[in-house]
Amino acid sequence: MQTILIATQKGGTGKSTLARNLSVAATQDGRNVLCLDLDPQGSLRGWWESREADTPAMLDRDPPPHDLRATLNGAKGQFDLCIIDTPPAHPEWLTETLEAADLVLIPVRPSPDDLRAVGTTIAAVNGAGVPFAFVMSQTPRARITEETARILAQHGRVAPANIAQRVVYAETSATGQGVTEAGDDKAASEIAEIWQYVRGILNG
Ligand SMILES: Nc1ncnc2c1ncn2[C@@H]1O[C@H](COP(=O)(O)OP(=O)(O)OP(=O)(O)O)[C@@H](O)[C@H]1O
Ligand SMILES: [Mg+2]
């Protein structure tokens, strides 16, 4: 089983949105996916509870962060991929959860505030020595999007497709769907491209 942790201390950057949509895209690609929600806000679980399909899976209860490794060990016979959402914070348990991941995805909105805040997350993933990639999130069609991607590329890999600012992402947070199930071709194609990119990294 491979593990993707979605993390950045900045709030509202699109962590839960990425977790939801990537878990559905991976499921549609034939992976047996487990979602874990380490955020007490429970956004990922709330979405999953309103979902009709029973895949991707969630456990009856999410583990306390210090028990993550034991939970992953217990899940590895049953699932191929675990996608973990985290809170907008820099908790004391962050390092141990980063170290449990095969890949960390860091969503970043194209704004100077987000760029300033992401430095702490970059330092944490580098400190943990875990592979990571940035995913540009809630992007407008504007020069600031390209400029942010250019700056991020100086610090690590940037996914080749952006999660654009689209109503369907907010709508599907209530319907329990992924955008790849919701009939919005543009959103579906950017999520499919991000999943292909992530899959390529995981396959080494
Ligand atoms: N690409 C997008 N287009 C439109 N709305 C979006 C997009 N991505 C996220 N949103 C909306 O922005 C808000 C924040 O997104 P989300 O909850 O995914 O961020 P988060 O990083 O998980 O937030 P938190 O830090 O509170 O956990 C939500 O209301 C979500 O529906
Ligand atoms: Mg969230």
* Spans of all domains in the chain: 2-202
Local confidence band at 5 (pLDDT 50, 70, 90 cut-offs): very high
- Nearest Cα residue to 163 out of 16, 50, 40, 51: 16
CA dist 142 and 162 (Å) reads 12
Ligand 1 atom closest to residue 19's alpha carbon, by position in its atom list: 18
Whole-Å CA distances, 68 to 71, 74, 88, 93, 101: 5, 10, 18, 10, 10
Which tokens sit at 69?
């490794």
- Let me know: does 149 contact 158? Beta carbons within 8 Å: yes
**Confidence at residue 166, expressed as pLDDT on a 0 to 100 scale:** 98
Residue 18 alpha carbon to ligand 1 centre in Å: 9
- Which alpha helices (DSSP H) does the chain contain, by range? 15-28, 43-49, 68-75, 94-99, 112-128, 143-153, 167-175, 185-202
Cα 41 from chain centre: 16
Distance between CA 18 and CA 15 in Å, rounded? Answer: 5
Residue 97: strand, helix, or coil: helix
Q: How far is the CA of 46 from the centre of ligand 1 (A)?
A: 13
β-bridge mates for residue 82, sequence order: 3, 34
Q: Any idea which ligand is nearest the CA of 164?
A: 1
pLDDT of residue 177: 98
| pLDDT tens sequence across 137-196 | 999 999 999 999 999 999 999 999 999 999 999 999 999 999 999 999 999 999 999 999
Which residues does ligand 1 sit against, CB inside 6 Å? 11-17, 39, 41, 43, 88, 137-138, 163-166, 169-170, 173
Q: What is the mean pLDDT of residues 37-61?
A: 97
The mean predicted confidence, pLDDT, of the chain is 97
What residues form DSSP beta bridges with 33? 81
Q: Among candidates 51, 10, 6, which has minimal Cα distance to 172?
A: 51
Would you say domain 2-202 falls under CATH 3.40.50.300? yes
**Residues of the chain above pLDDT 90, percent:** 100
Spatial neighbors of 126 by CB under 8 A, at least 6 apart, are: none
**CA pseudo-torsion sign 167, 169, 172, 173:** negative
> Which atom of ligand 1 lies at the shortest distance from residue 8's CA?
21
What local confidence, expressed as pLDDT, does residue 162 receive? 98
Question: What whole-number distance in Å separates Cα of residue 32 and Cα of residue 26?
Answer: 8
pLDDT for the residue numbered 26: 98
Looking at residue 125, what is its pLDDT? 98
CA distances from 71 to 58, 59, 100, 203 (A): 12, 10, 11, 23
Work out the percent of the chain whose per-residue pLDDT is above 70: 100
pLDDT value for 60: 97
Please give the structure tokens belonging to residue 71: 């939970």
- Report how far ligand 1's centroid is from the alpha carbon of 14 (Å): 4
Question: Confidence band (pLDDT; 50, 70, 90) for 120?
Answer: very high
